[in-house]
Structures are given as structure tokens and as C-alpha cells.
Structure 1
């Protein structure tokens, strides 16, 4: 019992630390250099095709997936709903989750917008290659998806790790000749801020680092095996849904458990947690500076046990034109209080002229 408790605590600490201090190293993904993105390869699941988003309040969980986009020789699962002539919204999930985490947001927003949500590489029902996972990988996936699948100006919305990804994509898009991102919404976004008082990093010791890596790998993978059990998933979810845990149901738990059965899932978990790769750190400060005036809204669960409201305060200080909507929820306000988040997104879209 004591060992189980220690593993559970370690896993929660890993997740919490990962989300609070996430300052990804920027690396180039070790995938095929030639980009393959053919809409002709997309497949639509009949169950979703028949879904009536005007009357049903959430999308179904489908282990078979929804639509498929081929990207860098990998399969990316995504949901698409709404009138193609309407303004586009792309929803990006957080660490360990998937597009399904926006189950209550997609059909409601699809009444007025063309809504997309994908599974990031390594998560959900998307491919889980053994590669270096970094913010740059998911940023590129986001930008390429907008260019090659959506094909028009898009508002990006991201939660947690997906919030950092959305911000990174918006920042990069703002620096390009033709920006396809016209607005960004952060839902309790992860990300690291610069610390001018931080001591310089020590020179690495190859032997010590190798031993530490072996120990770290064993601990993280052991915790992964333990926490992919449904009861443990539900336990963690309830901790980050502190106000209303009613939406922590079997479908949500299964949408997290099922992808963990992939043979590569444990290794991907380790690589993401340890930010496998090398390169310069990516800081929220720099991304905000490069937004070039792109409208930004913080839709923040004020009772988040992992990413405190102080993070939103810091973003507002660095980007004074940003809007702030406080939600009475935890780390996942879009699923804990979907009506409030959907209303905030609608108001933001209206301010963008959509």
C-alpha cells in the first residue's frame, strides 16, 4: 500500500511540475523530412457523420477515431464539425488528453463556427512514434493543420500543454508573411517564464546524468503503469475538477485510458515528461513579445491546483491588451464549466468580428 501511495504521489508531482514549469526545448522532430498531408486520405467515422450537433450536447467517445490526417507519415486523429463557411476555431487539448476532452465545446460552438480539434502527436488516437517530443513539434503540427486542413484564418484555443502550443503557434504565425491565426484563447495554459535571478546551469556530468536518466526512466514508467488504471485516472481528474466533478465520467476516463494501451505509450510519456531533446528553452515571455498584437484572451479556471491564477496575472502584465475571464473551475475549465467557457469564446469571437 505504501509503495502504491508513493507512486501515485510521484506521478501527481510529475504532472504538476511538468505543467507548472514547462519550458520546452526546441528541437526538430526526427520524422520524415517530406511532409505528407493529403485531405484525400481523410476518413470520416459514420457515427460522427450522423451526429446532430444542433440537438446533442456532447460528441461520442469513439475508440475507432473520427477523421484522419496524414502528417509527416503519421496519422493524426481529429474532429471536424460545423458549417465550412463559418469562422474557424481549432481546439488543442492538454497533456494526457485528446480532442475528446472538448466533447461539450465542439457541438455547441459548431452551431456558429467551423470547429476542429485534433489529437497532438503522441497523444489520444494519433500516432505515437518514438521521437523527440518538444513544443516545436506540436507547434508545427498546429500550423500545418491550419494551412493544409482548415485552409483559412483560424482562432486557436488551447488548454494546459495545448495552451502553450496554441500560443507558440500564434507567435510563430505572427512572424510569418501570411498569418493564419487571428486570435488565441488560453485555458490554464502551461509554460515557463524567464527568471532573471536563476543561477546558471551547471556543466553536465555524463556518468551522473546517465545514472540519473536510468533511475528517472524506471520511476516514470512504473508510475505510468500504475496511473493508467481507471481508478487512478478518475482520482487525478477529480483533483483538477475541484468545483464540479460531475463530468468526470466513464467516457472521459476511457478516453484517457485507451490510448495508454499503445505499445509506445509508456516511452512517449517518459519522453514528454523529461522533455527529451536539446536546444534553447522556449519561454512564454518571448512568445508574447512575438504575438505582434494578435488578440489574446485568458479564460482561466481560478481554482486550478496545478497552474495558479498568478500565471494568468503574469501573462496579463506581459501582454496588457489581453482579456481575462475568470471561470469557477479547476485546471480544465472547458470540461468542468463548458457553458461558461463556450460563452467566453463566443464573446471573444464577436470582438474579433466573427
Structure 2
């Protein structure tokens, strides 16, 4: 589905692309596709962060569809995809994304991920070289080995125990999914508050009402950590672009950027005046950077 760009007054007002469902391991996985396959360019798969969905990429799909075959997917447990009572880990999403590339896109793909989605993309690229033509990370999540505490102190032990308690998980989930609190959180992680629309709040709130959403939320915090970012980078073989919103209060972008360069020195990196979700906050800048990088990688 292609939306006429000239019919939109502001990129922040573009509608989401209508999607479809793919069955994976007996579960419904929602995805969208726009644009036509270019013989000289690989497809592009967009992967959202924690609590987000394909809707978070609407502004990027709107422009990128002019130059690429663009796909976006709701990871299992998020968006419009099923939310079974499974253990949610990087390995699970790695298999989901790789199978989607193999079964649906059917050719090597550039994968782009924000936050948790970035970590999932790293997991795919580290394991399935043949399916990944390049990786784009936007304020990617995931710990490095040297930031992991070998022996947690008493405070960390107590907090770990708390997060394993169902009543604590329920309380946090109900508090965080409140629309006012969703907006407050976004105001903390977006540098430009004008990008925080009622539609954005609704897009994040809506999936939290689905059956199984609470269990997914709890599982993400209770599941064991996967491979560290430096371990994944050492297995990768494809081009890497790092896009950082330098005002991200959740991540020390410059510090993390240096760590990425330490383990993957030939990457390309760009710092933007934005917060944790630069693709949504300054989409036109991000779209231009992605286009130029893919065309010249």
C-alpha cells in the first residue's frame, strides 16, 4: 500500500499503513509492507522498541517507500501480534525475525531496530549472516559485558526479587499503561514534545489492553539476559549504521557509541538532536540518513 505524500500537511500526521498477518509457530504476527522492490537495493525491515509497534514507524514508511521495499513487523508480544504466555528473550525474537525474512521477504534484508528492536536485530545479524544485508541501530538497547555486575549487591538482589513478584509486576504495568503516564514518559525521552501526539499515546496504549499483555510485560523483566552486545558484534559480518538521539536520558549515547566502535570499528555513526526515538522525533532526518547509507554502503 502506498500513501500519496503530497496529501499530507505534516509528516507527524501521516496515517499508518494497513497491514496483514503471518502465522509463526501457531501465533498471529502483524506486519506491514509498502513500496516496490528495487533491483539494485535490498528490502528494509523496521523493528520497534519495547511497548511500541509498527505504528511507531509510520513516518519512516511514508517516505522510505519511495525508494525501497519497506517492511515493518510487530514482534511477538507487542502491537497487534499475539501475546502468548511464553518466555520472551532476544533468542525468541531472533528466530521470529529471521523466519520472517526467510519465509515472507525471501531475500537478504537490511534490518533496522530502535531500542529493544535494535538488540533483536543484532541477535539476527550475529547468527544469520546470509539473511542480513546490513544493520541500522537507533539508540539500541542491550548490555555490554563490562557493564554487567558479576556479583550483584544487596540492593540489586532485592530489586531482582521484587520484579519477580506478580503483584509488583501488575502494579507497575497498570501504572505505566495509564495514558497520562505514557505521555509523561514520552515527554522525558523526547527532546521535541511537539512530536508527542495523541495518536502516538494511543498507539502505545492500545496493545496494553490485549489479553496476555501483562504476562508479556512480566516475562521481559523476568527472563534471563541474552548474549551481550559486544559478543554479538564480534559475530557480525555486515555493514552497520548507528543513529543516536544524543539527548536520550535512558542511554549515554556518546559512551555507548564509543563501545560500539571499540568492537565494530568500521561502523558509520550519526548523532542527532533528539531523544530515545529519533526515527519518530526527527523522521525526515533519519529517513535521509538511512536512504543515503543504503545507497552508498
**Structure 2 alignment gaps of length 5 or more:** none
Q: CA deviation at 1:318?
A: 1.2
**1:316 is matched with which residue?**
261
> Is the Cα–Cα contact under 8 Å of residues 91 and 226 in structure 2 kept in the other structure?
no
In 1, the alpha carbon distance for the partners of 2:150 and 2:164 equals 25
Question: TM-score normalised to the size of structure 2?
Answer: 0.90
Aligned to 2:131: 180
Q: TM-score, normalised by structure 1?
A: 0.76
The Cα shift of 1:264 comes to 1.0
Provide the residue aligned with 1:76 in structure 2: 29
- 1:134/1:197 CA distance change after superposition, 3 Å: closer
Matched, 1:199 2:144: no
Cα deviation 1:159-211 (Å, max 9, x = unaligned) = 0000001111111112xxxx121110110000111128843579xxxxx99x9
Map 1:228-247 → 2, pairs under 5 A = 228-242=177-191, 244-247=192-195
Q: 1:270 aligns to what? A: 218
For 1:173 and 1:59, locate their aligned partners in 2 and report how far apart those are by CA, in whole Å: 34
* Equivalence for 2:113: 158
1:258: which partner in 2? 206
In the alignment, what sits opposite 2:241?
297
Partner of 2:96: 141
Partner secondary structure for residue 276 of structure 2: coil
Q: Secondary structure at the match of 1:221?
A: helix
Q: How has the CA–CA distance of structure 1 residues 95 and 52 changed in structure 2, closer, same or farther, with 3 Å as cutoff? A: same
Paired positions, count: 287
CA gap 1:55/1:281 in 2 versus in 1, 3 angstroms: same
The answer to whether the 8 Å contact 2:101/2:107 transfers is yes
1:213 to partner: Cα distance: 5.8
Query: Mind listing any 5+ residue stretches in structure 1 that lack a counterpart?
Result: 1-48, 203-207
Please give the alpha-carbon distance, in whole angstroms, between the structure 2 residues aligned to 1:215 and 1:322: 38
Q: Considering only CA atoms, is the larger Rg found in Structure 1 or Structure 2?
A: 1
Structure 1 moving runs of 4+ over 6 Å: none
CA shift, 1:85, in A, is 3.6
Greater share of residues in helix: 2
Distance 1:218 1:315, change over 3 A: same
Instruction: Pick from 168, 171, 174 the counterpart of residue 222 of structure 1.
Output: 171
Q: Distance in 1 between matches of 2:108 and 2:171?
A: 43
Instruction: Pick the aligned partner of 1:100 from 55, 68, 92.
Output: 55
Whether contact under 8 Å (1:61, 1:251) holds in the other structure is no
Shift of 1:257: 0.6
Distance 1:146 1:330, change over 3 A: same
CA distance in 1, matches of 2:163, 2:59: 41
- Checking the alignment, whether the CA contact within 8 Å between 2:2 and 2:35 is kept in structure 1 is no
Matched with 1:52 is 4
RMSD of aligned residue pairs (Cα, Å): 2.3
Cα offset, 1:313, TM superposition: 1.4
CA contact (8 A) 1:156 1:181 kept: yes
CA shift at 1:50, angstroms?
Answer: 6.8
The SS at the match of 1:84 is coil
